[in-house]
Structure 1
Amino acid sequence: MTENFTLRIFTEPQQGATYDDLLRVAKHAEATGFDAFFRSDHYLKMGEVTGEPGPTDAWVTLAGLARETTRLRLGTLMTAATFRLPGPLAIAVAQVDQMSGGRVEFGIGSGWYQEEHTAYGIPFPSLGERFDRYAEQLEIITGLWATPPGETFRFDGEHYQLSESPALPKPVQQPRPPVLIGGMGKKRTPALAARFADEFNLPFVDVDTAAAQFERVDAACEAIGRDPGEIVRSAALVLCVGRDEKEIARRAEAIGREVDEVRLNGLAGSPAEAVDKIGTWRERTGISRLYLQVLDLSDLDHLDLVADEVARQL
């Protein structure tokens, strides 16, 4: 895969996966040349699946993978700000960065899935308060990482207060692990991205919608005097590629999708179709990374096919 454009594997283990399932996919992704292994941060299944054997914690998983892989970038799309206090979260991410030798990327969002909060006793404030807390978390986490050794960090916000924090441990990556922000909010999301994001990600939207949102992020950067080119653009699409129509249909059925629908909304069809669609995304939106949502974690041949017949053509 070229340095100009990279393909990353993105998994949704709340739909039903053990750590060993994720480890198998991550090791295979590394062996076949993919750039990164990312996972969602959810505690409850979605849709018509059992979700068994149950959820796994994103940062516990990534800590394990940090010690069992050597090259893959590791991260979340997206950690929910509602799940953790910002101080302990900064510690956990910095520790996993240390455990991986500096391979962590930190995706964080405001949290949106009310049912998983209800199911596991996690407070779920109003949308406005969730976003306020999210903004404070970004300030705190990046502030802790940026505090010079030997100095302390202080923060006095509406929702979080920190006093005389030693701001330890420090991540390996300096000045910090890359921060990923995403979403379709038209005002506050681009403004936060302009302030904090190293990468802006748009999951499961069409190319026109993505192009318009990237333009909003660019405008927000320009409004505060930041070069928009400093922010990596990326997208996420469900993966369903096959060598022939029979294989495409089998893979669509395995993830509960219709072939025509997933062809329209995902990265689906033949390898040639996938390459063409990636080309359209690159031309229209300027993305340099694409996260491939792999929903059937047992189908490692799917990764082989993409590595051999899609990635090599990019």
Structure 2
Amino acid sequence: MDLRIFTEPQQGATYDTLLTVAKATEDLGFDAFFRSDHYVKMGSGDGLPGPTDAWITLAGLARETRRIRLGTLMTAGTFRLPGVLAIQVAQVDQMSGGRIELGLGAGWFEEEHTAYGIPFPKEKLARLEEQLEIVTGLWATEPGQTYGFHGTYYDLTNSPALPKPAQSKVPVLIGGHGAVRTPRLAARYADEFNMPFASLEDSERQFGRVRAAAQEAGRDPGDLVYSNALIACVGKDDREIARRAAAIGRDPDELRTNGLAGSPAEVVDKIGRYTEIGSRRVYLQILDLSDLDHLELISSQVQSQLS
């Protein structure tokens, strides 16, 4: 089971804060540092000092880390044209020496679009399908060849399909709860399917849909990595768990039900149950980015028991 650190910088974080967490992620032996792609905070708090751009952040981290994988859960398809996104991701992959992964979703948070003048189309999933085709098609085009795509929403003619990523294949992550289109897209384009903030029962059901869609598409369902994203709140005792829950405005009992919360032993046990349904990777949503002791505890007393 891989453990990855997943941050939500729109809630309030500078680049320097994210760099500190990314370096701790690397030093403590976690597999990867991921971040969300949002421009407006959600829920309580003032969101200060304001948003950071996901791919600018990852470009910086690519040069200041050496081992960990870096990526997004999820890049919003509404924020960037697919051809431009393919260039950005390829460049950051080169900057990292081949450690980038692209989580790509349709985009859903209308408020951030209206706040920053970003179009919020109705046909987001149909656009996402074309975006996935274009981004992966540009990367797969042989050097010296050109790429073309003529769809409903995007039109590319005689693209040089450059630059190329450092990796021969940048892993693509697709996720979500949708029962029909999401599994179909994952079966066609994804290297990893991620189930965000879901129970064991819902995760098992959705993993089954993705496996069935892959089989129907003529693909081995075992080719995909199946993963979960879950909020983390771990403490040595009930007092520490309560303190960490209070710091993020959540109730410890609710977190135990809906996330990975409790003592290290409780969390190891629950991760084991996700492993039993086929999950091979967990993205630990860390909301208090100032609490590096939290990461150290997870590394020393949770991750150490999963290898």
TM-score normalised by length of structure 2: 0.99
Cα distance in 1 for partners of 2:2, 2:204 equals: 19
Identity %: 69
1:6-65 deviation digits (Å, cap 9, x = unpaired): 100000000000000000000001000000000000000000111000000000000000
1:73 aligns with 2:65: no
Q: Amino acid of the residue matched to residue 256 of structure 2?
A: R
**1:300 counterpart residue number:** 292
Aligned to 1:38, which of 34, 55, 65?
34
CA deviations over 1:94-138 (Å, ceiling 9, x no partner): 000000000000000000000000100000011xx1111100000
Amino acid at match of 1:313: Q
- Give the partner amino acid of 1:253: A
Q: Which residue of 2 aligns with 1:15?
A: 11
User: What letter is aligned with 1:84?
Assistant: R
Distance 1:273 1:209 in 2: 20
Gaps of 5+ in 1: none
Q: What are the Cα deviations for residues 231-262 of structure 1, in whole angstroms up to 9, with x where unaligned? A: 00000110100001110000000000001000
Deviation of 1:305 after TM superposition, in Å, equals 0.2
Distance in 1 of aligned mates of 2:25 and 2:305: 18
**Aligned with 1:233: secondary structure?**
strand
| CA deviations over 1:137-177 (Å, ceiling 9, x no partner) | 00000000000000000000000000000000000111x20
Extract structure 1 runs of 4+ deviating beyond 3 A: none
Question: Can you list the C-alpha shifts for 1:71-94, whole angstroms capped at 9, x where unaligned?
Answer: 010000000000000001000000
Number of corresponding residues: 306
> Does residue 226 of the first structure (1) align with residue 204 of the second (2)?
no
* 1:208 paired to 2:201: yes
Aligned counterpart, 1:260: 253
In structure 2, what is the Cα distance between the partners aligned to 1:125 and 1:178? 26
Matches within 5 A, 1:1-314: 5-126=1-122, 129-174=123-168, 176-283=169-276, 285-314=277-306
The whole-number CA distance in structure 2 between the counterparts of 1:282 and 1:207 is 10
**Counterpart Cα distance in 1 of 2:34 and 2:136:** 21
Q: Distance in 2 between matches of 1:109 and 1:48?
A: 24
1:182 counterpart letter in structure 2: G
Alignment-mate amino acid for residue 292 of structure 2: L
Amino acid at match of 2:49: P
SS in 2 for 1:243: coil
Report the residue type matching 2:24 in the other structure. H
One-letter amino acid of the structure 1 residue matched with residue 152 of structure 2: E
Query: Amino acid of the residue matched to residue 216 of structure 2?
Result: A
1:271, distance to aligned residue in structure 2 (A): 0.3
Taking structure 1 as the reference length, what is the TM-score of the superposition?
A: 0.97
The DSSP-based 3-state class of the residue aligned with 1:88 is helix
CA RMSD in angstroms, aligned pairs only = 0.4
Rounded to whole Å, the distance in 1 between the matches of 2:158 and 2:274 is 46
Offset at residue 280 of structure 1 (A): 0.7
